[in-house]
């Protein structure tokens, strides 16, 4: 079986991915606007975009192990895009909270960020993710040289913070957040070797 | 001359969500298919798989009866539409997600029912299903409901004063508190047999009131809403409604009321004592550890732009009637 993706097919697959990531978001807001998301559309849009961001983050972390496993380096062409969708969903998540939950009560918005540990940690994750999103272009990547990889390894931290944010936000039953912890654990285990190398280099300096 | 007096529960045109559109919701979310992994693992998965081929409308719907009652005076507040009152519920016995109780409770049997009144009373007694509707004066009351999660509704309840029931019980001098208990029936209540669906709380659900709170005229034993008997997801056949306290105090599907000398342990207070107190009076000055209680979102009709945030009032706006109960108490300590 030949699994390689020829270079000229990449735009085609990218277009498919755009649809996969944009369609749920678009239908979410259409549904929210027309009151088709149940009794509380606000809760729905916040939860949906939050889960979407977390799912995108974990999928982006799955790309390189998959590329290694199938010897399919062309998969890496899609990683940046998935990461940027994680950023887009996370941005929607926060804007939903600001627009629809606290409804532009900026004092309340800022207070909540600093007073509630789960929001503080979520906001921290988002800040780092923003830095990654803005340094994601090829041009900046070339300019940053080896620093780029160091910065973008923070994606492991972002995903961890996002899972903790989810865990702390849950009211009682924590099964679902625990599943996400497990998924995160698996994704980290898959890159155990490179993480070890990375930390050794860190310590030997 | 014909004077048309509209019932308080009659909705104006603009308050009505098109029900057909509304019920499309499940298909809608399914189509988007981007929910968390939990939805893949949910106990309702099997049902959902069949739903893809079947039709939601085929599931049996619980039958509500019309009630006779004294109509309330018209309210100045816009009522939350019935469809939202009956599809947005925290009733973990039927699933911890807001839409689950309406979906997982329709086969719930409420007749026969027994509500046992016991403890520090001269005359313990039991109310059977029919007694719930015939023993006391049944009236409509339009109350605000403020959930501890910072959303609220306005609901036309039908029921009787808890005080009437307490009087009938002839309490002894030792009766200082009441403990209410929800039905424990894991066969009927999926949340009680599946820990994940049940949100990980311990069952049966227990709530409590101080005796003077129970005697306050606002405290209501509700047997209906919007002119009909309660649907299961709202606590059929009988539930408590204490409008100046957070919603979790208003225990559903009650089978026992026991009069006690000491404050009873209550479900959410046991689970997370620093988050949910025994009193749980609505108080904008005392935050939940994880969110502010200063304001709330009123659930009304309309889409995402119609969900207005309003300031939360002390005792949910019923301070005139109930603040006296707590005079001299530190409400920060007794939250």
Q: Clarify whether residues B38 and B101 are in a common domain.
A: no
Q: Report in angstroms the alpha-carbon separations of B85 from B82, B148, B192, B207.
A: 5, 16, 23, 22
Distance from CA of A29 to the nearest CA of B (A): 9
Say if A200 falls within a structural domain. Answer: yes
State whether B108 and B41 are in the same domain: no
Evaluate whether residue A96 is within a structural domain.
yes
**Number of domains present in the structure of chain A:** 1
Residue B91 domain-assigned (yes or no): yes
Does residue B28 belong to any structural domain of this protein? Answer: yes
Shared-domain flag, residues B111 and B88: yes
Q: Tell whether A183 is within 8 A of chain B (Cβ).
A: yes
Complex prediction ipTM: 0.82
User: Does residue B3 belong to any structural domain of this protein?
Assistant: no
Last residue of a domain, one of B59, B77, B92: B59
Q: Which residues of A touch B151 (CB under 8 A)?
A: 40, 43
| Among B9, B42, B59, residue at a domain's last position | B59
From chain A, the residues in CB contact with B292 under 8 A are: 108, 111-112, 115
Chain B residues near residue A101 by CB distance under 8 angstroms: 297, 309
- Indicate whether B32 and B76 sit together in one domain: no
**For residues B216 and B322, is the Cβ–Cβ distance under 8 A?**
yes
As given in the structure block, the two tokens for residue B197 are 């669906």
Residue B127 lies in a domain: yes
C-beta atoms of B303 and A118 within 8 A? no
Mean pLDDT is lowest, of A131-140, B5-14, B189-198, for B5-14
CA distance B272 to chain A (A): 9
Listed in sequence order, the residues at least 6 apart from A9 whose beta carbon sits closer than 8 Å to its beta carbon are: none
Whether residue B29 is found in the same domain as residue B128:
no
Q: Are residues B237 and B96 in the same domain?
A: yes
Residue B5 forms part of a structural domain = no
Alpha-carbon distance of B108 to B64, in angstroms, equals: 12
What local confidence, expressed as pLDDT, does residue B12 receive?
Answer: 52
Strand B228-229 to B220-225 pairing? antiparallel
pLDDT per residue over A65-86, tens digit each?
Answer: 999 999 998 999 999 999 999 9
Per-residue tokens: B175: 């009766």
Which residues of chain B are within 8 Å of residue A35 when distances are taken between CB atoms?
Answer: 17, 21-22, 301-304, 306
Handedness of CA B39, B41, B42, B47 (dihedral sign): positive
Q: What is the DSSP string of A65-131?
A: HHHHHTT-GGGGGGHHHHHHHHHHHHHHHHHHIIIIISTT-HHHHHHHHHH-HHHHHHHHHHHHHHH
Q: Does B49 have pLDDT greater than 60? A: no
Task: For B179, list phi and psi in degrees, rounded to 5.
Answer: -115, 130
Q: What is the pLDDT, as a whole number, of residue A47?
A: 96
Write down the pLDDT at residue A1. 46
Could you tell me if B204 and B198 are in contact, meaning their C-beta atoms sit under 8 angstroms apart? no
To the nearest whole angstrom, how far is the Cα of A100 from the nearest Cα of chain B?
Answer: 7
Residue A1 lies in a domain: no
d(CA B235, CA B308): 27
Omega before B112 within 30 of 0, i.e. cis: yes
Claim to verify: residue B207 and residue B305 sit in the same structural domain = yes
Q: Are B231 and B92 in contact (CB under 8 A)?
A: no
Report the largest interatomic distance among the alpha carbons of chain B, rounded to a whole angstrom: 62
User: Rounded to a whole number, what is the distance in Å from the CA of A148 to chain B's nearest CA?
Assistant: 31
pLDDT of residue B53: 41
Write out residues 97-156 of A within 8 Å (CB-CB) of B: 100-103, 105, 108, 111-112, 115-116, 118
Task: Decide if B295 and A108 are in contact by the 8 Å CB cutoff.
Answer: yes
- For residues B97 and B139, membership in a common domain is answered with yes
More confident residue, A192 or B133: B133
Q: Are residues B150 and B54 in the same domain?
A: no
pLDDT for res A2: 52
Q: Which of B6, B39, B59 is the last residue of a domain?
A: B59
Residue with tokens 């200082």: B176
In a domain, A2, yes or no: no
pLDDT at B66: 97
Q: In which domain, by residue range, is B292 found?
A: 65-326
For chain B, what is the domain count? 2
- Please check whether residue B255 lies inside any domain of the structure: yes
* Residue B197's CATH number: 3.90.420.10
Q: What are phi and psi of A135, to 5 degrees?
A: -105, 20
**Interface residue A174 vs chain B (CB under 8 A):** yes
Q: Is residue A126 part of a domain?
A: yes
What span, in angstroms and rounded, lies between the C-alpha atoms of A54 and A57? 5
Domain around A95: 7-204
Structure tokens at A184: 């995160």
Indicate if B160 and B82 belong to the same structural domain.
yes
Q: Are strands B139-146 and B125-128 parallel, antiparallel or unpaired?
A: unpaired
Residues B38, A175: C-beta atoms closer than 8 Å: yes
Asked if A39's CB is within 8 angstroms of B98's CB, the reply is yes
Q: Does one domain contain both B101 and B30?
A: no
Is B10 inside a domain boundary?
no
Q: Using one digit for the tens of pLDDT, what is the confidence trace for B143-188?
A: 999 999 999 999 999 999 999 999 999 999 999 999 999 999 999 9
pLDDT number for residue B310: 96
Same domain, B184 and B320: yes
B9 within domain boundaries: no
């Amino acid at each position: 079986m030949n699994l390689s993706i020829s270079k000229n097919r990449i735009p085609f697959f990218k277009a498919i991915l755009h649809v996969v990531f944009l369609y749920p978001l678009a239908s979410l807001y259409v549904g929210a606007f027309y009151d088709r998301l149940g009794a509380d559309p606000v809760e729905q849009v916040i939860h949906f975009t939050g889960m979407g961001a977390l799912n995108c983050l974990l999928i982006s972390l799955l790309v390189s192990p998959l590329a290694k496993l199938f010897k399919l380096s062309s998969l890496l062409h899609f990683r940046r895009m998935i990461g940027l969708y994680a950023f887009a969903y996370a941005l929607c998540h926060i804007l939903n909270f600001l627009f629809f939950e606290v409804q532009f009560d900026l004092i309340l918005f800022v207070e909540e960020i600093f007073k509630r540990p789960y929001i503080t940690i979520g906001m921290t994750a988002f800040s780092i993710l923003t830095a990654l999103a803005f340094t994601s272009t090829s041009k900046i990547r070339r300019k940053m040289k080896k620093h780029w990889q160091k910065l973008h390894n923070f994606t492991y931290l972002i995903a961890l913070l996002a899972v903790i944010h989810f865990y702390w936000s849950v009211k009682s039953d924590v099964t679902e957040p625990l599943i996400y912890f497990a998924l995160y654990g698996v994704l980290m285990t898959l890159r155990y070797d490179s993480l070890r190398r990375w930390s050794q280099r860190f310590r030997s300096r | 001359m014909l004077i048309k007096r509209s019932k308080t529960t009659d909705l104006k045109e603009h308050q009505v969500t098109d029900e057909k559109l509304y019920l499309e919701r499940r298909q809608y979310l399914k189509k988007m298919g981007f929910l968390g992994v939990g939805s893949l693992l949910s106990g309702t998965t099997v049902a959902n798989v069949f739903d893809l081929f079947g039709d939601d409308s085929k599931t049996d719907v619980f039958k509500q009866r019309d009630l006779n009652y004294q109509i309330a005076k018209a309210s100045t507040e816009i009522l939350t539409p019935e469809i939202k009152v009956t599809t947005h519920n925290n009733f973990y016995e039927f699933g911890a997600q807001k839409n689950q109780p309406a979906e997982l409770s329709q086969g719930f049997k409420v007749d026969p029912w027994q509500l046992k009144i016991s403890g520090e009373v001269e005359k313990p007694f039991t109310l059977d299903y029919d007694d719930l509707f015939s023993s006391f004066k049944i009236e409509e009351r339009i109350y605000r409901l403020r959930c501890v999660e910072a959303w609220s509704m306005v609901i036309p309840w039908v029921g009787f004063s808890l005080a009437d029931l307490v009087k009938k019980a002839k309490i002894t001098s030792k009766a200082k508190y009441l403990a209410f208990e929800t039905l424990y029936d894991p066969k009927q209540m999926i949340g009680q047999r599946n820990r994940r669906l049940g949100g990980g709380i311990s069952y049966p659900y227990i709530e409590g009131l101080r005796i003077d709170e129970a005697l306050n005229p606002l405290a209501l034993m509700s047997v209906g809403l919007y002119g009909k008997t309660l649907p299961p997801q709202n606590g059929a056949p009988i539930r408590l409604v204490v409008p100046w306290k957070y919603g979790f105090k208003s225990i559903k599907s009650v089978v026992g009321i026991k009069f006690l000398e000491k404050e009873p342990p209550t479900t959410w207070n046991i689970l997370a004592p620093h988050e949910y107190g025994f009193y749980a009076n609505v108080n904008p000055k005392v935050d939940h550890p994880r969110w502010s209680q200063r304001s709330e979102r009123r659930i009304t009709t309309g889409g995402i732009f119609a969900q207005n945030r309003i300031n939360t009032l002390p005792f949910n706006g019923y301070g005139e009637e109930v603040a006296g109960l707590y005079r001299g108490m530190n409400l920060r300590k007794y939250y």
